[in-house]
Amino acid sequence: MTHRWDPERYLVYADERGRPFFELLARVRAEQPALVVDLGCGPGGLTASLAERWPGARVVGVDASAEMIERAREQAGPVEFEVADLRTWLADATPASVDVLVSNATLQWVPGHLALMPALVEAVSPGGWFAFQVPGNFDEPSHTLRADLAAQEPYAACTSDVATPDAHDARTYLEVLAGLGCVVDAWETTYLHVLHGEDPVFAWVSGTGARPTLQALEAADPALRTRFEAEFKEQLRAAYPQSDAGQGVVLPFRRVFVVARTAESA
């Protein structure tokens, strides 16, 4: 089944999710781009900041989620938003037309996205910028506990084909993009998010990585989802206890950043 995103749930931790975007864009030194595209723009708040940084540019936000684009269009501003799958957009893109191509926490949802790198680079103008960020925390309990539990009965029959995110390390992206003629800056950062409230790690993952699993269970049997949630929350509480200082729950979150500049035209 195709899962649907919930902008309100996603924005619960908007500040924490937004920080990597700005740290990524700090390494993009474009001065007067004509066209800036945000692939996987979500609810659009971060995309709007691109128009503030480059007020002379045409800024376009693209997302496969109609719900996210609907929310994005509610905000005032000059940004254009469109509903499109990243791969469909890429297939239709005019080569060498985008001066700054950004993708924030999106490529991990595209299976085999490493094979898309040549087309993504081809969409960028000579001397232009391609910048993206993906999570690199898929070996953490927030993901492994969900996957292990979802593989058990009675859940497995409902979750065997749900979408699951995946990504590569910084060196892999660096080598692929350098092989395409780009000058590449790639790095990794592990954030220590201090979360508060009831079952905060569940609140975090239910808006992103765990959402397709939860939605599949809901579609099959709401009671099954309720049962899964209860077990998953219990395991997350054990894996992510309250900090000794009593200041909240610490969620380590590794992210992979890549900024590539395409070759200048001959």
Q: Are 50 and 59 in contact (CB under 8 A)?
A: yes
Asked whether residue 18 is domain-assigned, the answer is yes
Q: Are 163 and 209 in contact (CB under 8 A)?
A: no
Print the domain residue range for 137: 7-261
Q: How many CB atoms lie within 10 A of CB 220?
A: 16
Mean pLDDT of the residues in the chain: 92
For helices 45-53 and 14-25, give the axis angle rounded to 10 degrees. Answer: 30
Q: What is the pLDDT of residue 48?
A: 93
- 87-144 pLDDT, tens digit per residue, is 999 999 999 999 999 999 999 999 999 999 999 999 999 999 999 999 999 999 999 9
Asked whether residue 58 is domain-assigned, the answer is yes
CA distance 259 to 251: 26
CA distance 167 to 7: 23
Q: Is the pLDDT of residue 155 over 90?
A: yes
Q: What is the pLDDT of residue 11?
A: 52
Q: Is the pLDDT of residue 182 over 50?
A: yes
Q: Is 186 helix (H, G, I), strand (E, B) or coil?
A: strand
- pTM, two decimals, is 0.92
Q: Is the pLDDT of residue 3 over 60?
A: no
Q: Tell which residue, 142, 145, 147, has the closest CA to residue 164.
A: 147
End-to-end CA distance of the chain: give it in Å, rounded.
Answer: 47
Q: Is the pLDDT of residue 255 over 80?
A: yes
Q: Is the pLDDT of residue 9 over 70?
A: no
Asked whether residue 1 is domain-assigned, the answer is no
CA distance 14 to 153: 34
Q: What is the pLDDT of residue 266?
A: 54
Domain count, the chain: 1
Q: Is the pLDDT of residue 6 over 60?
A: no
- The two structure tokens encoding residue 145: 């506990």
Q: Is the pLDDT of residue 28 over 60?
A: yes
CATH number of the domain that 39 lies in? 3.40.50.150
